[in-house]
Structure 1
Amino acid sequence: MFAITPRIADDYSLFNLLEDMASPYNRYQQRNMLPVKFGDGTMGHIGGSIGGSQVENADKEFRIRLDLSHYKPEEVKISMDSHKISINAKHEERQDNHGFISREITRTYKLPNDVDVNSATSTMNANGTLSIKMLKKALEAPKEVNIPVQFEKQK
Protein backbone atom coordinates (compact mmCIF):
# COMPACT_ATOMS: atom_id res chain seq x y z
CA MET A 1 0.00 0.00 0.00
CA PHE A 2 1.24 3.54 -0.74
CA ALA A 3 0.07 7.08 0.04
CA ILE A 4 -0.97 9.54 -2.60
CA THR A 5 -0.05 13.12 -1.76
CA PRO A 6 -2.24 15.67 -3.50
CA ARG A 7 -0.56 18.53 -5.28
CA ILE A 8 -2.59 21.35 -3.77
CA ALA A 9 -1.54 24.04 -6.24
CA ASP A 10 -2.36 21.86 -9.26
CA ASP A 11 -5.66 20.67 -7.77
CA TYR A 12 -6.65 24.22 -6.87
CA SER A 13 -5.84 25.49 -10.39
CA LEU A 14 -7.81 22.63 -11.94
CA PHE A 15 -10.73 23.35 -9.59
CA ASN A 16 -10.75 27.05 -10.60
CA LEU A 17 -10.58 26.16 -14.29
CA LEU A 18 -13.50 23.72 -13.98
CA GLU A 19 -15.51 26.24 -11.96
CA ASP A 20 -14.89 28.98 -14.55
CA MET A 21 -15.89 26.70 -17.39
CA ALA A 22 -19.06 25.57 -15.63
CA SER A 23 -20.27 28.99 -14.57
CA PRO A 24 -22.26 30.89 -17.19
CA TYR A 25 -21.91 34.00 -15.00
CA ASN A 26 -18.11 33.97 -15.41
CA ARG A 27 -18.39 33.57 -19.17
CA TYR A 28 -20.97 36.40 -19.26
CA GLN A 29 -18.69 38.59 -17.17
CA GLN A 30 -15.70 38.09 -19.47
CA ARG A 31 -17.74 38.67 -22.66
CA ASN A 32 -19.66 41.73 -21.54
CA MET A 33 -17.06 44.11 -20.19
CA LEU A 34 -18.01 47.45 -21.73
CA PRO A 35 -15.09 49.83 -22.31
CA VAL A 36 -15.77 53.37 -21.16
CA LYS A 37 -13.56 56.36 -21.93
CA PHE A 38 -13.56 59.11 -19.32
CA GLY A 39 -13.14 62.79 -20.11
CA ASP A 40 -9.51 62.75 -18.98
CA GLY A 41 -8.63 59.99 -21.47
CA THR A 42 -8.42 57.12 -18.96
CA MET A 43 -10.27 53.90 -19.65
CA GLY A 44 -12.54 52.00 -17.32
CA HIS A 45 -14.99 49.13 -17.64
CA ILE A 46 -18.57 48.59 -16.76
CA GLY A 47 -19.85 45.08 -16.91
CA GLY A 48 -19.86 41.72 -15.31
CA SER A 49 -23.26 42.07 -13.77
CA ILE A 50 -26.51 43.74 -14.56
CA GLY A 51 -26.59 47.08 -12.84
CA GLY A 52 -22.82 47.46 -12.52
CA SER A 53 -21.94 51.12 -12.01
CA GLN A 54 -19.11 53.60 -11.76
CA VAL A 55 -19.13 56.95 -9.99
CA GLU A 56 -16.55 59.63 -10.68
CA ASN A 57 -16.36 62.76 -8.56
CA ALA A 58 -13.93 65.00 -10.47
CA ASP A 59 -13.04 68.64 -9.82
CA LYS A 60 -15.46 70.07 -12.39
CA GLU A 61 -17.98 67.23 -12.88
CA PHE A 62 -19.83 64.47 -11.09
CA ARG A 63 -20.49 61.45 -13.32
CA ILE A 64 -22.39 58.19 -12.97
CA ARG A 65 -22.28 55.31 -15.46
CA LEU A 66 -24.71 52.45 -15.00
CA ASP A 67 -25.12 49.24 -17.00
CA LEU A 68 -28.79 49.00 -18.00
CA SER A 69 -28.30 46.76 -21.02
CA HIS A 70 -31.59 44.90 -20.40
CA TYR A 71 -33.69 48.07 -20.51
CA LYS A 72 -34.85 50.50 -23.16
CA PRO A 73 -34.43 54.26 -22.54
CA GLU A 74 -38.19 54.68 -22.11
CA GLU A 75 -38.08 52.11 -19.26
CA VAL A 76 -35.63 54.23 -17.25
CA LYS A 77 -36.71 56.97 -14.82
CA ILE A 78 -34.30 59.34 -13.11
CA SER A 79 -35.26 61.55 -10.19
CA MET A 80 -33.17 63.69 -7.89
CA ASP A 81 -33.16 66.33 -5.24
CA SER A 82 -30.28 68.36 -3.86
CA HIS A 83 -28.94 65.39 -1.84
CA LYS A 84 -29.44 62.26 -3.94
CA ILE A 85 -30.19 60.88 -7.39
CA SER A 86 -32.28 57.74 -7.96
CA ILE A 87 -32.39 55.67 -11.12
CA ASN A 88 -35.18 53.16 -11.60
CA ALA A 89 -35.38 50.81 -14.59
CA LYS A 90 -38.23 48.36 -15.00
CA HIS A 91 -39.70 46.27 -17.76
CA GLU A 92 -42.86 44.24 -17.55
CA GLU A 93 -42.92 40.51 -18.09
CA ARG A 94 -41.78 39.45 -21.53
CA GLN A 95 -40.65 36.25 -23.18
CA ASP A 96 -37.01 35.32 -23.62
CA ASN A 97 -35.22 32.07 -24.61
CA HIS A 98 -35.95 30.41 -21.25
CA GLY A 99 -39.53 31.51 -20.58
CA PHE A 100 -40.87 34.78 -19.21
CA ILE A 101 -38.93 37.38 -17.26
CA SER A 102 -39.52 40.76 -15.67
CA ARG A 103 -36.78 42.94 -14.23
CA GLU A 104 -36.49 46.00 -12.04
CA ILE A 105 -33.49 47.78 -10.59
CA THR A 106 -33.23 50.89 -8.45
CA ARG A 107 -29.95 52.61 -7.63
CA THR A 108 -29.62 55.67 -5.42
CA TYR A 109 -26.47 57.75 -5.16
CA LYS A 110 -25.61 60.48 -2.66
CA LEU A 111 -24.69 63.72 -4.42
CA PRO A 112 -21.75 65.89 -3.38
CA ASN A 113 -22.68 69.21 -1.81
CA ASP A 114 -21.05 71.25 -4.59
CA VAL A 115 -22.95 69.69 -7.53
CA ASP A 116 -25.26 71.86 -9.65
CA VAL A 117 -28.43 69.75 -9.93
CA ASN A 118 -29.79 72.05 -12.64
CA SER A 119 -26.93 71.07 -14.97
CA ALA A 120 -27.78 67.34 -14.98
CA THR A 121 -27.82 65.55 -18.34
CA SER A 122 -28.20 61.87 -19.20
CA THR A 123 -27.58 59.70 -22.25
CA MET A 124 -27.92 56.00 -22.96
CA ASN A 125 -25.75 54.38 -25.65
CA ALA A 126 -26.52 51.37 -27.86
CA ASN A 127 -24.83 49.02 -25.34
CA GLY A 128 -27.27 50.14 -22.64
CA THR A 129 -24.79 52.20 -20.62
CA LEU A 130 -26.57 55.10 -18.95
CA SER A 131 -24.32 58.14 -18.37
CA ILE A 132 -25.34 60.98 -16.08
CA LYS A 133 -23.26 64.13 -15.80
CA MET A 134 -23.58 67.14 -13.52
CA LEU A 135 -21.33 70.16 -13.34
CA LYS A 136 -19.87 71.36 -10.08
CA LYS A 137 -20.75 74.78 -8.74
CA ALA A 138 -17.94 77.26 -9.15
CA LEU A 139 -16.42 78.07 -5.82
CA GLU A 140 -16.29 81.81 -5.55
CA ALA A 141 -13.40 83.44 -3.80
CA PRO A 142 -14.53 85.37 -0.76
CA LYS A 143 -15.37 88.90 -1.81
CA GLU A 144 -14.15 91.83 0.17
CA VAL A 145 -17.04 93.42 1.96
CA ASN A 146 -16.93 96.92 3.37
CA ILE A 147 -18.73 97.33 6.66
CA PRO A 148 -19.72 100.92 7.37
CA VAL A 149 -19.02 102.25 10.82
CA GLN A 150 -22.01 103.89 12.43
CA PHE A 151 -21.32 106.73 14.78
CA GLU A 152 -23.47 106.86 17.90
CA LYS A 153 -23.72 110.06 19.84
CA GLN A 154 -23.52 109.76 23.59
CA LYS A 155 -26.73 110.45 25.42
Structure 2
Amino acid sequence: MSQQNKSVRKSEIDKKKENITPKSNPNQIVCDWPFSSHSDDVVKSEEHDGKFELVLDCHEFDPKEVTVYTQDDKISIYCDHQKTGDSNTCERKISRTYKLPSNVNPSTLKHSFSIDGDLVITAEKK
Protein backbone atom coordinates (compact mmCIF):
# COMPACT_ATOMS: atom_id res chain seq x y z
CA MET A 1 0.00 0.00 0.00
CA SER A 2 1.46 3.35 -1.02
CA GLN A 3 2.02 6.15 1.46
CA GLN A 4 -0.75 8.17 -0.21
CA ASN A 5 -3.22 5.27 0.12
CA LYS A 6 -2.27 4.85 3.79
CA SER A 7 -2.95 8.55 4.36
CA VAL A 8 -6.31 8.34 2.60
CA ARG A 9 -7.25 5.22 4.63
CA LYS A 10 -6.20 6.93 7.89
CA SER A 11 -8.26 9.96 6.93
CA GLU A 12 -11.31 7.73 6.31
CA ILE A 13 -10.88 6.10 9.73
CA ASP A 14 -10.51 9.50 11.41
CA LYS A 15 -13.76 10.65 9.77
CA LYS A 16 -15.56 7.54 11.02
CA LYS A 17 -14.21 8.10 14.51
CA GLU A 18 -15.36 11.72 14.45
CA ASN A 19 -18.85 10.59 13.53
CA ILE A 20 -19.22 8.08 16.37
CA THR A 21 -17.14 9.29 19.28
CA PRO A 22 -19.02 10.48 22.37
CA LYS A 23 -17.56 13.98 21.96
CA SER A 24 -19.36 14.49 18.65
CA ASN A 25 -22.48 12.54 19.57
CA PRO A 26 -23.74 13.31 23.08
CA ASN A 27 -26.75 11.04 22.50
CA GLN A 28 -24.60 7.98 21.86
CA ILE A 29 -25.65 4.95 23.84
CA VAL A 30 -22.82 3.28 25.73
CA CYS A 31 -23.66 -0.28 26.72
CA ASP A 32 -22.23 -2.21 29.63
CA TRP A 33 -19.82 -4.97 28.72
CA PRO A 34 -21.89 -7.85 27.28
CA PHE A 35 -21.64 -10.86 29.55
CA SER A 36 -22.11 -14.30 28.01
CA SER A 37 -25.40 -14.78 29.87
CA HIS A 38 -26.72 -11.81 27.89
CA SER A 39 -25.48 -12.99 24.49
CA ASP A 40 -27.58 -11.69 21.63
CA ASP A 41 -26.11 -14.13 19.07
CA VAL A 42 -24.21 -11.22 17.51
CA VAL A 43 -21.87 -10.31 20.37
CA LYS A 44 -20.43 -12.83 22.81
CA SER A 45 -18.21 -12.14 25.81
CA GLU A 46 -15.94 -14.54 27.66
CA GLU A 47 -13.33 -14.35 30.37
CA HIS A 48 -10.47 -16.86 30.46
CA ASP A 49 -6.72 -17.12 31.14
CA GLY A 50 -6.60 -13.66 32.71
CA LYS A 51 -8.10 -12.07 29.59
CA PHE A 52 -11.42 -10.73 28.45
CA GLU A 53 -12.63 -11.63 24.99
CA LEU A 54 -15.39 -10.04 22.96
CA VAL A 55 -16.50 -11.74 19.73
CA LEU A 56 -18.66 -9.90 17.20
CA ASP A 57 -20.12 -11.60 14.13
CA CYS A 58 -18.68 -9.56 11.25
CA HIS A 59 -18.79 -12.14 8.46
CA GLU A 60 -20.80 -9.71 6.31
CA PHE A 61 -17.92 -7.19 6.44
CA ASP A 62 -14.45 -7.10 4.96
CA PRO A 63 -11.78 -6.47 7.65
CA LYS A 64 -10.94 -3.10 6.04
CA GLU A 65 -14.58 -2.05 6.63
CA VAL A 66 -14.23 -2.51 10.40
CA THR A 67 -12.78 0.08 12.78
CA VAL A 68 -12.05 -0.66 16.46
CA TYR A 69 -10.72 1.90 18.90
CA THR A 70 -10.75 2.83 22.56
CA GLN A 71 -11.41 6.14 24.22
CA ASP A 72 -10.91 6.30 27.96
CA ASP A 73 -12.80 3.32 29.41
CA LYS A 74 -14.87 2.64 26.29
CA ILE A 75 -14.37 0.49 23.21
CA SER A 76 -16.10 1.41 19.97
CA ILE A 77 -16.66 -0.87 17.01
CA TYR A 78 -17.77 0.58 13.70
CA CYS A 79 -18.55 -1.57 10.64
CA ASP A 80 -19.55 0.03 7.35
CA HIS A 81 -20.22 -1.89 4.10
CA GLN A 82 -21.48 -0.20 0.96
CA LYS A 83 -21.87 -1.81 -2.43
CA THR A 84 -23.45 -0.15 -5.43
CA GLY A 85 -24.53 -2.07 -8.51
CA ASP A 86 -26.02 -0.92 -11.79
CA SER A 87 -29.52 -0.53 -10.39
CA ASN A 88 -29.21 -1.22 -6.67
CA THR A 89 -27.34 -0.31 -3.53
CA CYS A 90 -26.55 -2.47 -0.53
CA GLU A 91 -25.52 -0.88 2.75
CA ARG A 92 -24.83 -2.44 6.17
CA LYS A 93 -23.67 -0.60 9.27
CA ILE A 94 -23.03 -1.63 12.83
CA SER A 95 -21.93 0.76 15.54
CA ARG A 96 -21.45 -0.46 19.10
CA THR A 97 -19.79 1.20 22.06
CA TYR A 98 -19.17 -0.66 25.30
CA LYS A 99 -17.94 0.50 28.67
CA LEU A 100 -15.01 -1.73 29.54
CA PRO A 101 -15.08 -3.54 32.88
CA SER A 102 -13.04 -1.72 35.53
CA ASN A 103 -10.53 -4.58 35.75
CA VAL A 104 -9.62 -4.47 32.03
CA ASN A 105 -6.46 -2.69 30.90
CA PRO A 106 -7.52 -0.69 27.77
CA SER A 107 -3.92 -0.29 26.59
CA THR A 108 -3.67 -4.08 26.06
CA LEU A 109 -6.66 -4.21 23.73
CA LYS A 110 -6.05 -6.13 20.48
CA HIS A 111 -8.34 -7.27 17.71
CA SER A 112 -8.18 -9.76 14.86
CA PHE A 113 -10.49 -11.68 12.55
CA SER A 114 -11.16 -15.40 12.72
CA ILE A 115 -11.41 -17.57 9.62
CA ASP A 116 -15.21 -17.49 10.06
CA GLY A 117 -15.28 -13.67 9.88
CA ASP A 118 -15.71 -13.05 13.60
CA LEU A 119 -14.09 -9.94 15.03
CA VAL A 120 -12.20 -11.11 18.13
CA ILE A 121 -11.21 -8.42 20.64
CA THR A 122 -9.02 -9.33 23.62
CA ALA A 123 -7.67 -7.36 26.56
CA GLU A 124 -5.63 -8.25 29.64
CA LYS A 125 -7.01 -7.88 33.13
CA LYS A 126 -5.37 -5.29 35.39
TM range (shorter): 0.5 to 0.7
CA distance in 2, matches of 1:92, 1:85: 23
| Corresponding residue of 1:106 | 95
Is the aligned partner of 1:73 residue 2:63? yes
Listed as ranges, the gaps of 5+ residues in structure 1 are 1-45, 138-155
Deviations 1:10-34 (A, max 9, x none): xxxxxxxxxxxxxxxxxxxxxxxxx
Matched position secondary structure for 1:132? strand
Code of the residue aligned with 2:44 in structure 1: it is Q
Q: Is structure 2 residue 105 aligned with structure 1 residue 116?
A: yes
TM-score normalised by length of structure 2? 0.60
What is residue 84 of structure 2 aligned with on the other side? Answer: 94
Partners of 1:124 and 1:59 lie apart in 2 by 20
User: What CA deviation, in whole Å up to 9, does each residue of 1:19-67 have, x standing for no partner?
Assistant: xxxxxxxxxxxxxxxxxxxxxxxxxxx996xxx0101244711110000
Matches within 5 A, 1:5-20: none
Partners of 1:59 and 1:81 lie apart in 2 by 25
Identity %: 31
User: Partner amino acid for 1:111?
Assistant: L
Structure 2: 5+ residue runs without aligned partners? 1-38
Bigger relative contact order, structure 1 or 2 (CA pairs below 8 A, ≥6 apart) = 2
Match of 2:52 among 62, 73, 76: 62
Contact 1:55 1:65 survives alignment (8 Å):
yes
Structure 1 runs of 4+ off > 4 angstroms?
none
| In structure 2, C-alpha distance between the alignment counterparts of 1:131 and 1:70, rounded to whole Å | 15
Shift of 1:82: 3.0
When the two structures are superposed, what TM-score results if normalisation uses the length of structure 1? Answer: 0.50
Report the structure number with the largest CA radius of gyration.
1
SS at match of 2:120: strand
Counterpart code for 2:71: D
Q: 1: CA distance between counterparts of 2:49 and 2:71? A: 21
In structure 2, the CA distance between the partners of 1:55 and 1:106, relative to structure 1 (3 Å rule), is same
Kindly provide the amino acid, as one letter, of the partner of residue 73 in structure 2: H
Equivalenced residue count is 87
1:128 to 99, 108, 117: 117
